Structure 1
Amino acid sequence: MRRLAILGASGHGKVVADAAQLSGWDSIEFFDDAWPQCRVNGAWPVLGDSAWLLDHLSEFTGVVVAIGNNAVRRKKLVQLREAGALLATIIHPSAVVSRHARIGAGSVIFATAVVNPFCEIGEGAILNTGCSVDHDSRLSDCVHVSPGARLAGGVTVGDESWIGIGACVRQMINIGERVVVAAGAAVVNDISDNMTVAGVPARALVSK
């Protein structure tokens, strides 16, 4: 029996669990540090906290982190890997992923997402519902591409960056680490590390 542990009993976790169930996992169980107050997440039980999971990793065929915050997700992935967890990759059966693409361990790809040939997706990435990543793009670890976002060919995205819902990125653009691209933005120029950009065309937001 293929038994999946999901760390993070959230709404995002429900989508991960649903995709896992549809892709053939036999048993799905959640773990969250809100346990024991949190004992169920949608249709799935919450069995314990993250410490309990770390002590029982050998009981699971795979583990995935369902935490939307990119930095926190990365921290938890490192903890699990160091403890010997087998990081699962979850791909919804309606997603279209080229056989010539490479998907990192611990990543999740949701319904109707498209990953085209010779893309490289790092570990712990989230490719959310209906997004697309075109040919030869490279996404580093713990990137989140939100629902409906579009990345053209040859785009690079650095660690822990977040591409907002419905955003578009022009071909051959380089996006740095820990960047936030706001919902609906159109990125037509490279973006440096740690920036937040918004608008059409996307420009840096300035704090007041």
Structure 2
Amino acid sequence: MIDLVIFGAGGLGQMVFDILHAARGIHVVGFLDSDRSLHGSTVGAVRVIGGLESIDTLRRRGVSHAVVAIGDNPTRVEIADAIRARRLELASAVHPAASISIHAEIGAHVIIGPRATLCVHARVAEHAVIGAGCIVEHEGSVGRGSFLHPAVRLAGAVTVEAYVTLGIGCTVIPGRRIAAGARVEPGSIVIRDVSTGGHVGGIPAAPLPAPASRFRAAAEVGGRVSTGVFRR
């Protein structure tokens, strides 16, 4: 039995808790969160223990692993780095009801929801989130720290670079490239490549003004962002 904490007590954190519960062999000790107003409360039946400052104490008590469940892509990676610096191992959360080809490649510290499908030679890089019911078809790739919300459908040989957000129910036709830091609005159908940091939406997807959103663009984390495409 592995003792583990989940960083992020919001909706994604609750999804991760459900995934880990279904996977068995894992004891979720509690949530961590940077929002101090949540500390000491419970989410479902699980206590919010504290924030990053609680990790040293938890490690001394036998907690060995953490999953980072933060929706903002750059923040998710930054928190993961901070947890690793405090000597907790980072874990993935992959639902047993996901369908993953034996020829797919999955990086470290990913979240993959129920009924997600990764087809032959699909590739998912580290810190990516693949929501419930997503399809990544043959030879598709999802870059480092990207987030595919539920029911996103990537046709064959689609490339999603680093820190991309694809809203619920998006479809991308074969061979398109969604460049680093781009955002695609829910329900869109992408028939053209999307440029770095682009914001598109609609049917077919067309450029939109930059979103007034709490989500940070990839450019804000400076030169540390690469395309993030999974490499063999």
TM over 0.5: yes
SS at match of 2:71: coil
Instruction: Return structure 1 stretches of 4+ with deviation > 3 angstroms.
Output: 35-38, 54-58
| 2:154 paired with 1:151 | yes
Q: 1:43 to 1:176 in 2, by over 3 A?
A: same
Match of 1:128 in 2: 131
| 2:19 paired with 1:31 | no
Structure 2 CA distance for aligned equivalents of residues 151 and 111 of structure 1: 17
Give the deviation of 1:57 after TM superposition: 3.9
Give the deviation of 1:120 after TM superposition: 1.4
Give the deviation of 1:107 after TM superposition: 0.7
Q: 173-182 or 58-67, which moves further after superposition? A: 58-67
Give the deviation of 1:181 after TM superposition: 0.5
SS at match of 1:21: helix
User: Which sections of structure 2, spanning at least 5 residues, go unmatched?
Assistant: 211-232
SS at match of 1:201: coil
Structure 2 CA distance for aligned equivalents of residues 3 and 13 of structure 1: 16
| 2:17 paired with 1:14 | no
SS at match of 1:46: strand
Give the deviation of 1:15 after TM superposition: 0.8
The one-letter amino acid of 1:153's match is G
1:62 to 58, 62, 65: 65
The one-letter amino acid of 2:33's match is D
| Structure 2 length-normalised TM | 0.84
The one-letter amino acid of 1:104's match is G
The one-letter amino acid of 1:32's match is D
Give the deviation of 1:83 after TM superposition: 3.2
The answer to whether the Cα contact below 8 Å between 2:106 and 2:124 also exists between their aligned partners in 1 is yes
The one-letter amino acid of 1:33's match is S
Which runs of structure 2 are paired with 1:76-91 in the superposition (5 Å)?
76-91=79-94
Q: Summarize deviations over 1:8-56 as a string: whole Å, max 9, x none.
A: 1112111100101110143112111234643211121212212212554
1:97 to 89, 96, 100: 100
SS at match of 1:47: strand
Count of residue pairs brought into register by the alignment: 207
Match of 2:221 in 1: none
SS at match of 1:45: strand
The one-letter amino acid of 1:44's match is V
Q: 1:54 to 1:119 in 2, by over 3 A?
A: farther
| 2:176 paired with 1:173 | yes
User: Which sections of structure 1, spanning at least 5 residues, go unmatched?
Assistant: none
Counting aligned pairs with the same residue, the percent is 31
The answer to whether the Cα contact below 8 Å between 1:132 and 1:151 also exists between their aligned partners in 2 is yes
Structure 2 CA distance for aligned equivalents of residues 64 and 160 of structure 1: 18
SS at match of 1:72: helix
Structure 1 CA distance for aligned equivalents of residues 138 and 26 of structure 2: 33
Structure 2 CA distance for aligned equivalents of residues 36 and 170 of structure 1: 43
